[in-house]
Structure 1
Amino acid sequence: MTQTAPELDTADAALVSLGRNLEESRYTFATVTPATHERVNRRSGNARAFGFRDVFGWSRPFGPGVLPDRVVGLMDTAGVLHQDGDEWRSTVRFSMCDNGLFVHSASPDRPSSVFYGACTRVMARAVAAHIDARVWPVRRAVDIRCGIGARAIAVARRRPGAAVLAADSSDEALRFARVNAALARTPGVRHCPGDQLDDVGGTFDLIVSCPPFMIDPARRAPHHLSTAILDQAAAHLAPHGSLVLFSGAGIVGGRDQFQRAAAEHLTGTGLAWTYRELDPDVYGEELDSPGYCDAERIALVMLVATRGPR
């Protein structure tokens, strides 16, 4: 698979400039869960935006005069300004993660959205901790299903000499990952289409991934993408290489459904692996959906599989 250099077109360059403007204004915003976001925006006085955080954090509508003309111009050039008469909205948000600013979709509701989830910061910290504890060098790394690129950038920041590949099947995800790599000043990150290791090819010292794990409308098994990566990992890990895989696990009757599936798929691969919960209770609103009617909670988990020397 050919890797493309992080070259920016006019729209992407404008989005980077927009992020730089926010950095210069000392903008910060910690994205919350969609349920919390909705509750805060329902409060009296929060219906419209009056500044940067309202527009680019809370996704509130605004009109002329709220933002500097230069910022509105950059939004327009970047293609992230939605206009409906005198009411405007940003179609992106900017959120803090790993001491940097990341751009992502303003709403998780569209099918093509590439959203900064409630777990993004937790996963970036976990990747950083894994790299800090790793004895063997990281010369080549990949983040499969990279989303906004936060995990790939976390790797590149701590191993600036490594070749880091961010792969995703979504054009919108690759755009955000490309822009975020520019914002983070991590030129070692490259981008390519693909959502499985076999799409990318080659071997890696570090593989990172968080495939979609919620039960989708097609009612496929929730972990089919994660277990596919487990099935391919042994063929793509270099000696002493490690896979860091994040997923959500439905806990039914006290039993972790993903851990059981992972054990089955890793048997016979020769990979040593560890498994732990990072957060015992995420996406609680999904417990009301038919796919999780038997689950008592959904946990964010991290599986690390390691290849020994050959």
Structure 2
Amino acid sequence: MTSTSESVLERASTTQNATDATRDALLALLRHLDGTGYRFVTATPGTHARVVARADRRRATNVRDALGWSLPFARATVGDELFELLQAAGVVEPAGDGLFRATIRVSSVQGTLFLHSAYPTIAEDSVFLGPDSYRFADLITARMGALAPGARIMDYGAGAGVGGISAARAAPGTALTLADINPKALRLAGINAEFAGLDHREVEATSPADVEGPFDLIVTHPPFMMDEAGRKYRDGGDLYGAKLSLDWVLEGVELLRESGKLILHTGVSIVDGRDVLLERLRQDLDPKRFGFGYHELDPDIFGDELDQPPYAQVERIAAVGLWITRLPNPA
């Protein structure tokens, strides 16, 4: 007769084996796609919606349609090998009329592939990648500077892991920590990092302060919208959506080693010509301890949001980049 404790252990072992099998299948999926030269650049949801609404885009005619544009597809369209990998990973579902739909997308950023959520990304645990991710990756590689082997990198609010993976790929021999509140995001980010060949760990955390430092580089891309539904993946809180960005910066810089750097990409509401985040950074960052640079990367993003009631006082939303260096302690 099997004891209760033995039954629990058997269930745990079965669950772990299933998790390992799906992870292996997703890694094999990425490797298969990479071997075929697959590449896809993810557009904004608005652009995506316009493209897939075209009369000739009702169903996939190739793998990019299926795994990039999230169109329903026939098994023959993607081929037996790829279809079986999707099945083994548990990321394909029936779409009616003998067609199927993938529950993940695969996009390319800076020469490597990333798993993230299929379109439309409306679930609470959606894992995002889009135009912001490409700007973020470029900002990091432009501003991170040289890192010695063994340096520690953290990507906080990692999502699909684009920021941390881009940094670690640019600095071979470094150790990457992927931290996020969303277990689904951590799982996909970890697979993306493994596919990229990176030494990494995954940490579930509700704030940067939950992660043990110190770090030589921290990269972060927090939510920054004013969302009346308060969705965690989208809502940036008070300060016209910039409060979460401010909080993550102020917590994150305390985890930096001397001469360590934090790089932030976010969106900021411009109110009467004032950048509300920059004003607070100048007020809250001690200039004796931290030096920083700041730049508008795109002066006008998500303009359609200005029609929403929370944005009645906002004249534009800007994409901004911030890089902060922890200064040497005064003698």
TM-score (norm 2): 0.86
2:184 maps to 172
Separation in 1, partners of 2:114, 2:280: 33
Counterpart residue type for residue 290 of structure 1: P
- Identify if the C-alpha distance between structure 1 residues 234 and 102 changes in structure 2 by more than 3 Å, giving closer, same or farther: closer
Comparing 263-272 and 90-99, the one that deviates more: 263-272
Q: Distance in 2 between matches of 1:182 and 1:135?
A: 20
Pair 77,252 (structure 1): closer, same or farther in 2 beyond 3 Å: same
Structure (1 or 2) with the larger CA radius of gyration: 2
Unaligned runs of 5+ in 1: 1-7
State how far apart, in whole Å, the 2-side matches of 1:138 and 1:196 are: 24
**3-state SS in 1 of match to 2:55:** coil
The correspondence for 1:112, drawn from 120, 125, 130, is: 125
Relative contact order, higher structure (CA 8 A, sep 6+): 1
CA contact (8 A) 1:47 1:61 kept: yes
Give the count of matched residue pairs: 301
1:156 equivalent in alignment to 2:175: no
Q: Could you tell me which amino acid in structure 2 is paired with residue 139 of structure 1?
A: A
Quote the offset at 1:166 in angstroms: 0.9
Question: Where does residue 28 of structure 1 map in the other structure?
Answer: 39
Separation in structure 1 between the aligned mates of residue 305 and residue 288 of structure 2, nearest angstrom:
33
Deviation per residue, 1:174-224 (Å, 9 max, x gap)? 0111111122122x2221111422100221111111111111223731223
Q: 1:291 aligns with which of 310, 313, 319?
A: 310
Matches within 5 A, 1:88-99: 88-99=100-111
1:213-244: CA deviation from partner (whole Å, max 9, x where unpaired): 11122373122322222322342111111111
SS in 2 for 1:48: coil
Three-state SS of the structure 2 residue aligned to 1:119 is: helix
Between 1:188-197 and 1:134-143, the stretch displaced more is: 134-143
TM-score (norm 1): 0.91
* Cα distance change, pair 203–135 in 1 and its aligned pair in 2 (3 A): closer
2:160–2:185 Cα contact (<8 Å) kept: yes
| 1:84-115 CA distance string (max 9 Å, x none) | 44231111111110111111101222121111
Secondary structure of the residue aligned to 1:71 is helix
Cα contact 1:12–1:78 (8 A) shared by 2: yes
More displaced 10-residue stretch of structure 1: 39-48 or 259-268: 259-268
Is the CA contact (8 Å cut-off) linking 2:107 and 2:115 kept in structure 1?
yes
Give the superposed CA RMSD: 1.9
Secondary structure (helix, strand or coil) at the match of 2:250 reads: helix
The match for 2:8 is none
| Structure 2 gap ranges (5+) | 1-18
How far apart are residue 249 of structure 1 and its match? Answer: 0.5
1:125 to 133, 138, 141: 138
Q: For the residues of structure 2 that align with 1:172 and 1:83, how far apart are their CA atoms?
A: 22
Partners of 1:166 and 1:37 in 2: how far apart? 28
Partner of 1:300: 319
What residue is the counterpart of 2:115 in the other structure? 103
1:184 to 2:196 alignment: yes
Separation in 2 of the partners of 1:253 and 1:287?
A: 14
Distance change (3 Å), C-alpha of 1:254 and 1:284: same
Matched, 1:224 2:235: no
- Quick one: which of 272, 276, 280 aligns to 1:257? 276
